Amino acid sequence: GDSVTQMEGPVTLSEEAFLTINCTYTATGYPSLFWYVQYPGEGLQLLLKATKADDKGSNKGFEATYRKETTSFHLEKGSVQVSDSAVYFCALNYGQNFVFGPGTRLSVLP
């Protein structure tokens, strides 16, 4: 079945460092791809999405490109802030449902 794999972390970075969180997927058909962020004690919020191959989603300085040839959707940010500390989930939609990766905890130190 459809699945999402992402690096589990935790990832610890210093402020202003470059961030990459890898995400790869397995899917039949052409799903939409998503990155969600979860701050402590909260639900998941959509960070960005891409609905077809070569689309780039972006928001709040984060970017990810839908790469069909490598079945990947890696999350990047050029300069992280302490406020970016959270858990990040890669996801895809499949049929009427959604499949989520295990989440990657990011800690950014001042």
Size of the site for another protein (CB under 8 A): 22
98 sits near another protein (criterion: CB under 8 A): yes
Q: Which of 5, 24, 32, 65 binds another protein (CB under 8 A)?
A: 32
DSSP codes of every residue in the chain: --EEEE----EEEETT--EEE-EEEE-SS---EEEEEE-TTS-EEEEEEE-STT-EEEETTEEEE-BTTTTB--EEESS--GGG-EEEEEEEEETTEEEE---EEEEEE-
Q: How far is the CB of 110 from another protein (least distance, A)?
A: 25
Q: How far is the CB of 91 from another protein (least distance, A)?
A: 8
Q: Which of 3, 15, 26, 46 binds another protein (CB under 8 A)?
A: 46
Name which of 36 and 73 has its Cβ closer to another protein. 36
Residues forming the site for another protein (CB under 8 A): 32, 34, 36, 41-46, 49, 51, 89, 91, 93, 95-98, 100-103
